[in-house]
Amino acid sequence: MTSRPTIKPWIAGIHAYVPGKSTGKGGHELVKLSANENPLGCSPIALEALAANAGPARYPDPDSRALRGKIAEVHGLDAERVVCGTGSDELLNLAAQAFAGPGDDVLFSRFSFAVYDIAARRCGATPVEAPDSDYATDVDALLAAVSERTRVVFVANPNNPTGSFLPRAEIARLHAGLSADVLLVLDQAYAEYLAPEEDDGGFELAAAHENVLVTRTFSKAYGLAGERIGWATGAPHLIDALNRIRGPFNVTNAGQAAALAGLGDQSFITATRDHNARELARFSDAMAALGNHGIRPLPSKANFVLVLFEGALTAAAALEALADAGYAVRHLPGQGLPHGLRITIGTTADMDAIASTIASAAEAAQ
Ligand code: PMP
């Protein structure tokens, strides 16, 4: 008998998720561009709904019915095929738990969202990483890594932390290459940043097939990360599985109200997308102009850019220079990216300051 409860070995193997920082070395506040939050905040209508919410003594609607109805209306979906979660994080974990377990593989691309590895290990399954193709998700590599043990495949599209994007034909090809009993989870956390014609076809796949789950979040373009609201759509048996194991009251009153109001203000989403597209292009150009210093921005379709530092200026030194200038960005050495910084698109002034800080640090490092 041991003298204390023994952690399960598959839980002991988990490296806890490391959230983006918002403070510098001395504990002082920095502008936080390390967690892909919306620099424009959230819709003023969503903010009003949050303030008007006077129901903290009551449990929320356990089925998020009004919110699911609005999601279905805005996206042309069937509300019965939608489930809401405590952020999309909850739903990603539940998808792994419902369809994979000990002896099974959960597959995803190298350099993808850190929660996939945790979700796999949490349920005792084995996380399997497929090689990337110059940091982007590689459909052929994913398909080659599928085995008879593979039960769940996670693909973030656009991908975090690389910003890469698989077009509709590639997603369709991936799906076509998987057998019908493998669940494909398409994580569309950053889909609102895509131009409408760039849609990867995930909703259509989820409507037509029984093995596709699409997840979305209110944390990014909707600017409601603090309220923890996500959702998923898929075939009834997938939604039923997640409903069996989700928290019974998993989305708060305030969260349901704010998300519902946010969905009603699509002009905020358009403004967010436009701001992001403009600043993303400007910042990516500014980083590409530092190519002679070994600095390379990866092409991004999301609200951040992964900048690689392969010259005299290291990512660690750039991180420090940015902190000195008042900015927290994301260094991901634990994810095999000691040479990269993932920088969230902030305000115009933020991006100017970050670009000039990196340019000066690169000059100084020569
Ligand atoms: N998927 C991806 C690809 C993400 O980057 C994130 C947030 N970092 C999430 C899912 C989870 O977001 P949330 O739980 O806030 O919905």
Per-residue pLDDT of the chain (366 residues; tens, 9 = 90+): 789 999 999 999 999 888 888 887 778 899 999 999 999 999 999 999 998 986 788 999 999 999 999 999 999 999 999 999 999 999 999 999 999 999 999 999 999 999 999 999 999 999 999 999 999 999 999 999 999 999 999 999 999 999 999 999 999 999 999 999 999 999 999 999 999 899 999 999 999 999 999 999 999 999 999 999 999 999 999 999 999 999 999 999 999 999 999 999 999 999 999 999 999 999 999 999 999 999 999 999 999 999 999 999 999 999 999 999 999 999 999 999 999 999 999 999 999 999 999 999 999 998
Who lines ligand 1 at CB under 6 A?
36, 87-89, 113, 156, 160, 187, 189, 217, 219, 225, 230
The Cα 98–Cα 121 span in angstroms is: 13
Which atom of ligand 1 lies at the shortest distance from residue 112's CA?
Answer: 3
Query: What is the number of the ligand 1 atom nearest to the C-alpha of 187?
Result: 1
What are the E-state strand segments in the chain? Answer: 31-32, 82-86, 105-109, 126-130, 150-156, 183-187, 212-217, 229-233, 295-297, 304-309, 327-328, 330-332, 337-344
**CA 35/CA 111 separation, integer angstroms:** 16
Nearest CA to ligand 1 atom 2: 189
- Alpha-carbon 251 to chain mean position: 18
The Cα–Cα gap between 161 and 136 comes to 10
Q: Give the distance (Å) from ligand 1 centre to CA of residue 114.
A: 9
Ligand 1 atom closest to Cα of 113?
A: 3
- DSSP H helical ranges for 179-252: 202-208, 236-245
Task: Tell me which residue has its CA closest to atom 4 in ligand 1.
Answer: 189
190 C-alpha to center of ligand 1: Å?
8
What domains appear along the chain, each with residue ranges and CATH number?
21-41+267-365 (3.90.1150.10), 44-264 (3.40.640.10)
Q: In this structure, which residue's CA is closest to atom 6 in ligand 1?
A: 189
3-state helix, strand, coil in the chain (%, to 5): 45, 20, 40
Q: What are the DSSP calls for 292-357, one per residue?
A: GGTEEEPP-SSSEEEEEE-SSS-HHHHHHHHHHTTEE-EEEGGGTEEEEEEEE---HHHHHHHHHH
Pocket test of ligand 1: the residue of 108, 160, 251 to mutate, having most ligand atoms within 8 Å of its CB, is 160
| pTM listed for this prediction | 0.97
Q: 73 to each of 78, 82, 324, how far by Cα in Å?
A: 8, 11, 46
Which ligand 1 atom is the nearest neighbour of the CA of 220?
A: 15
Question: Candidates 90, 117, 220, 303: which one to mutate for ligand 1, based on the most atoms within 8 Å of Cβ?
Answer: 220
